[in-house]
Amino acid sequence: PAATVDVLVVGSGGAGFAAAVAAHDKGAKVMLIEKEPVIGGNAKLAAGGMNAAWTDQQKAKDIKDSVESMYKDTMKGGRNLNQPELVEILTGNSKSSVDWLTSLGADLNDIGRMGGASANRSHRPTGGAGVGAHVIQVLYDNAVKRDIDLRMNTRGVEVLKEGGKVKGLLVKGKYKGYYWVKADAVIMATGGFGKNNDRVASYDPKLKGFISTNQPGATGDGLDVAGNAGAGMTDVQYIQAHPTLSVKGGVMVTEAVRGNGAILVNREGKRFVNEITTRDKAAAAILKQTGKTAYLIFDDSVRNSLKKINKYIKLGVVPTAESPEALGKLEGIDGKALAATIAQYNKLVASGKDTDFERPNLPRALNEGNYYAIEVTPGVHHTMGGVSIDKNSGILTEDKKAIPGFYGAGEVTGGVHGANRLGGNAISDIITFGKLAGENAAKYSKQ
Ligand code: ADP
């Protein structure tokens, strides 16, 4: 082999960096490889926060919370399809994960609320800056300080096994070509597959043609590397999609914009669906429109009803004009038709019944102040399923047997989030299971 280490970590997202630093600190010689030319994976894009319960940061703000409450919220959010023993670790270790990151230099003092949470438990840097970028920076600095061998442009290709035990990995350097790395333990931290629409649609055909919020490396080749080495898969069919992703910003636009009164129109300026139908139906209807996109249209009364809208405006993804006609011109929507559609919609609102599309709620007419448009299309955000793991972060075969020396953590794994991941639980997942995988792999390599 071209190199020999105790622990080889595949993927430089939050799970990979947490695993690498934790394994090093347990005395292992560590290598971390990343196939892309940049570090951070999807993790560095995470904006919400890191969910944790009963933390010092919460106590300092007098926030009442408990591990049990975080456990219940996580199970409920996942439609009770999560694996309870994994959720126990996610929630039970959440405080120690926050403490660990803090000891490495992270600032997780600001605390907010995310969907599905019954307490404020989403920890992020003071001032509410992006938690993912901060956590990746802190972990990267710590990896550099420890002199961990970090290799970019290096893809994990095939696991080497001997007598059923993992012994190393065939890797492909973009410039160096193929070479073997001998390792007592390999940790898969390769993230999800949201950016690979063929794979997404093969598990959930309803999602064909969806764009994604994910980074380019989120293709899921790590699933094949693990699968070819005998890993079983859990819940790969559960893929988090959203009907309204901003085409310009790649960010999800919350359903509350529609709930509070925005309508959806196509490029021809016409409504085409009950705006507050289920996510899958709204997504399918949008994909049938010209260019596979639609526009959320609203006025100042909707804007003023929902603080979140100001965030989208700040991102620069919300063209604004004084009239529907002018808005249409800005965005290449038929402005005359748009004005007629809004007038017709306002009539329906006044009558209290949507005889056109049977929309069940008609909160307000669209006739106040400025008009706004957000171009949206359905998008994939997170893949809940992946390789099966046990509570030691060890990868399991299809019949639930541990594969010695093989570990997995983060979005590449399945079971933690059930059918649906709560906002703020991804960072928590990758730090807790990344650290666990790193520590256990280091311990195993010393045996
Ligand atoms: P997590 O949030 O679970 O840590 P991320 O998406 O943040 O996942 O990070 C996963 C990283 O793994 C990405 O940077 C991705 O480019 C990288 N990756 C994916 N597949 C491979 C592979 N086969 N070899 C090396 N790196 C990989």
pLDDT tens track for 189-228 = 999 999 999 999 999 998 998 889 899 999 999 999 999 9
The answer, yes or no, to whether residue 129 has pLDDT greater than 90, is: no
Is the CB of 16 inside a 6 Å radius of any atom of ligand 1?
Answer: yes
CA dihedral 96, 191, 71, 203 (to 10 degrees): -170
- Residue listed under structure tokens 């598990």: 203
How do residues 145-173 score in pLDDT, each as one tens digit?
A: 999 999 999 999 999 999 999 999 999 99
Q: What is the mean pLDDT of the chain?
A: 95
pLDDT band for position 109 (cuts 50, 70, 90): very high
Selecting among 113, 151, 279, 364, the annotated active-site residue is 279
Q: What is the ipTM of this complex?
A: 0.96
Is the CB of 439 inside a 6 Å radius of any atom of ligand 1?
Answer: no
What is the CA(190)–ligand 1 centre distance, in A?
3
- Which of 194-203, 253-262, 375-384 is least confident? 253-262
CA dihedral 436, 191, 385, 114 (to 10 degrees): 80
Is the CB of 188 inside a 6 Å radius of any atom of ligand 1?
Answer: no
The minimum-distance atom of ligand 1 relative to the CA of 39 is 14
Q: Which of 101, 190, 214, 433 to mutate to test the pocket of ligand 1 (most atoms within 8 A of CB)?
A: 190
The candidate with the shortest Cα–Cα distance to 41, out of 70, 23, 68, 16, is 16
What is the CA(400)–ligand 1 centre distance, in A?
24
The minimum-distance atom of ligand 1 relative to the CA of 17 is 4
Distance CA 75, CA 60 (A): 27
Is the CB of 240 inside a 6 Å radius of any atom of ligand 1?
Answer: no
Is the CB of 435 inside a 6 Å radius of any atom of ligand 1?
Answer: no
Q: Which residues contact 170 (CB under 8 A, 6 or more apart)?
A: 156, 157, 158, 159, 160, 178, 179, 180
Is the CB of 41 inside a 6 Å radius of any atom of ligand 1?
Answer: yes
- Would you state the pLDDT for residue 17? 98
The minimum-distance atom of ligand 1 relative to the CA of 410 is 3
- Catalytic (active site) residue 279: yes
